[in-house]
Structure 1
Amino acid sequence: MASLKDSLLDGISGKLDKYIIYRVGNETFIRKRPKKVSNPKSEKQQMQRAKLPGAQTMYKALDGSLLKEICNLAARYNEKRSGYHWFLGKNMNLFGANNYIDYSRLEFSDGSQQLPFGTTMKQTQPNAAELHWTDNSSSITAQSTDRLMVAVIFDNEPYTPVLLEDINAPRKDGYARVTLPEGEWQTAHLYCFFGRDDLKNFSPGIHFQVTKS
């Protein structure tokens, strides 16, 4: 943008070739016209347009669940306006055209609680796995009574995270068995994190994957 003071174009407004001339108060300015998108249906453009509705669809699926409140708490911890804004800020760029989702990088929790050290997963059955970790409950941000929580997304319901309800594994145990429900799914994405007993603070999560075949 440039000022046209003391120019022959001073006082003129409108389009001129590749430029736009406009007035603000008593001054006249000139700037380049925006370039047109040569191929609005290109793969890159479609990917960009698919990000927001994809993230919105997944967040909408959290309605009525504890996961939505966990997102709200993550928003407060990160000083965001709402769980919605926190979720989109973290995850929107992981969605794309043709139902593309980068599941390995999705986030559903955050807070000052720590993840245990050395968390690993071993699949033991087509629909079951064991989690192991080293107890690190030595501070107010890692308490022995913190509970393991596991959110899951199944490939036949790709936009619907669910929180498993039958896990009872405190941090001090260093071990948990995760059994997934039967169904037509082939791949399940597990998002494991720890929450305080009062459900007012949570840790970031870690992703694992279970595959039937």
Structure 2
Amino acid sequence: MVNKDILTSKEELGLVAKKIFYEAEDKEAYKPVMVKINEELKDFLEEIRIRDGIDKQFIIPASSTLNNLLVVRVEDIKDKSDYYECELLVQFFAEKEDFKKLLELEERIKEVVEEGLTDLEKAEFLNDFITENINYDRDHRSRSSLAAAITHKGTCTAFAQLFLILGEAIGLKVGCISSKEMKHRWNYVIIGDERYYIDTTFNATNKISNKLFFQNTPIHLEKAPDQKIVVNAIY
């Protein structure tokens, strides 16, 4: 039992998931854990068991990378009268050692972003940073932020996930938009009362201006009429 106390919140669950991640060996991609939980958290875990794999199932403080990439699978829940005993499987998107570069990149971004920048300036800085350091992967092999941090290239999903993770790390309210028709993914940022749409994939490949797809009106409407938010910004 990792925690002798009864867990009562997503935050406490997140801390357990974080602890399990750091206890894992470099080659491990998942790790089991037994916890005690109250009824409210039991109801939440049963809900995410139905929606297995959704983004941000819990809250992990001080690590946007882990907050977005760790997944908890519910293996078993037993009623112990005063509490519930729950067997969980903390799953990583890849082997633990693959997280190293992305975790380092997150800390680097936190350090280089100047104090006093507005959210709009942070978004512009992050757009420039990503488009200058990540190339589009025409072989479609680097499909995640983890891969992009290692190879310095990525698909649209990698670009969008990287902007999401690094954006949240510096305090931005970031979400992801996707279109099956366009086979594409991009981001939006909430700044004040405005929603800004940003496509770092297009910005990285556009030779005219790397801020072309960064505006406060929806983008790709003609090519992606089916577009929808797939990861909501956290307020």
Name the TM-score, length of structure 1 as normaliser: 0.30
More strand by share: 1
- More RCO (CA 8 Å, sep 6+): 1
Task: State which structure, 1 or 2, has the greater radius of gyration over its C-alpha atoms.
Answer: 1
More helix by share: 2
